[in-house]
A and B are shown apart, each in its own frame.
Chain A
Amino acid sequence: MVMKKSASPRRVPEEKAASADEVRAAIDGLSEAQLVRFKRYAERKIKGLGRRSLGRNHMDLLQDAITSTLAGDRRWNKTVDFSQHLFGAMSSIANNWAKKADPGETRLESELIHQNAEGEELNPLASAPAPDPSPEHQVSVKQQFEKIAKLLAGDQVALEVFGGLRAEMTGADIQEALGISKREYETTVKRIYRKARAILQ
């Protein structure tokens, strides 16, 4: 679903921005399910980036979301649910990474060097494969999509939703085009995931 989450606005008024103590308290208050949800959300965002993640993993994404919240790049507006804020922050950071790793975009190596939570400099170019995918990788992605389509054979709604996602349609557009409810769309995406996960791992 490419339904837009309510990401925190970039400019959060000082009086509404959470302090480090409030962020820590919010982390302490997260339930087990929510923490597992964050991890799985981050994993999927990283998988979507593919080689554009430049060697970063889901924990890097989670920690970056917290770091940018505290550093002021993506402040947490306390009137917004903390989980919604973190989903928005992770999504925004992942978009940023994808953009920066775009092979069509000229950039300096120094722009890619970032600091981890310990302040240590990391150069993704030193260890990661080039973001430009190899022909083998492309063939593999194509084959994976074909395999998933085969697994979904007989499930017309799932096939059509999968087609809509591949066409980069938003969740709302897919629902409208197929005349299905939000609930039906969501359960269909879950069904697709259950069948696709072994292939896309």
Chain B
Amino acid sequence: MEPEQENLEKELRAVWDAFAESIAESSDEEVLAEAREEGEDPHETAQRVRSALRDAVKSLQQRRLHEAEQQYKRRITEIYERQHRLPATPEQRRELLSLVFSRIPAMQTAVLTAQHREFSSLTDEDIESYLKQLDELGVLDRLGEPHDERRQ
């Protein structure tokens, strides 16, 4: 940009900045009077601005929620796509989960209480899913049990 052009842009900006600061310092009466003078309905403007500000809060929260959901889905997909060292048959897997619960009772409380369920009511799919998640958390490694021999 030519120096003269650049200067004019800067001058214009400095003048409008001063006008902006001026309205920031004006009294409520002056602000409302000026809006009316310029043909604005202050009540309608205020409603529109408040609504835009609220929308910004809501949209950001929805965006965060959406991002969290996407991250959760990616994580779950990763868990299910990963090879897990689980016993081959449903019976062996049920036995392994039972072993986990007996060794780490807090885990049973966490899993079953959260689901409001009894161990006996868990389906084979539930058990496989819990074991995969526990494996992901490193719980199966901590058991020290030679469950390797029962790997899939």
Total A-B Cβ pairs within 8 A: 171
Contact call A41/B20, Cβ cutoff below 8 A: yes
**Which of B5, B15, B17, B57 is within 8 Å of A24, CB to CB?**
B57
- Interchain nearest-CB distance for B70 vs A (Å): 11
**Which of A3, A45, A133, A196 is within 8 Å of B5, CB to CB?**
A133
Q: Is A80 an interface residue (CB 8 A)?
A: no
Chain A interface size, as a band, is 35 or more
| Interface membership of chain A positions 114-138, coded 1 if the CB is closer than 8 angstroms to chain B and 0 otherwise | 0111110000000000001100001
Contacts A186-B22, A193-B22 hold; do A66 and B57 have CB atoms under 8 A apart?
yes
- Interchain nearest-CB distance for A37 vs B (Å): 5
Instruction: Tell me the interface secondary structure of chain B in the complex.
Output: helix
Contact call B32/A33, Cβ cutoff below 8 A: yes
- Interchain nearest-CB distance for B19 vs A (Å): 5
Q: Is A157 an interface residue (CB 8 A)?
A: no
Instruction: Tell me the interface secondary structure of chain A in the complex.
Output: helix
Contact call B11/A145, Cβ cutoff below 8 A: yes
Q: Is A70 an interface residue (CB 8 A)?
A: yes
B74-111 residues with Cβ-Cβ distance < 8 A to A are: none
Contact call A24/B1, Cβ cutoff below 8 A: no
| Interface membership of chain B positions 44-72, coded 1 if the CB is closer than 8 angstroms to chain A and 0 otherwise | 01101110111111011111001000000
The CA of A196 and the CA of B8, in the complex, are separated in Å by 16
Query: What residues of A have a CB within 8 angstroms of the CB of B137 in the complex?
Result: none
Contact call B53/A27, Cβ cutoff below 8 A: yes
Contact call B61/A1, Cβ cutoff below 8 A: no
Chain B interface size, as a band, is 35 or more
Contact call B8/A142, Cβ cutoff below 8 A: yes
Query: What residues of A have a CB within 8 angstroms of the CB of B20 in the complex?
Result: 41, 44-45, 48, 91
The CA of A39 and the CA of B10, in the complex, are separated in Å by 22
The CA of A59 and the CA of B53, in the complex, are separated in Å by 9
The CA of A87 and the CA of B25, in the complex, are separated in Å by 11
From B43, B45, B61, residue with most partner A Cβ within 10 Å: B45
B1-58 residues with Cβ-Cβ distance < 8 A to A are: 1, 4-5, 8-26, 28-32, 34-35, 38, 40, 42-43, 45-46, 48-50, 52-57
Chain B residues engaging chain A, CB cutoff 8 angstroms: 1, 4-5, 8-26, 28-32, 34-35, 38, 40, 42-43, 45-46, 48-50, 52-57, 59-63, 66
A-B contact pairs, 20 of them (CB 8 A): A27-B53, A32-B42, A33-B28, A35-B50, A36-B32, A40-B23, A44-B23, A45-B17, A48-B14, A64-B56, A104-B1, A138-B4, A165-B14, A165-B18, A166-B14, A166-B15, A168-B11, A189-B22, A190-B30, A197-B38
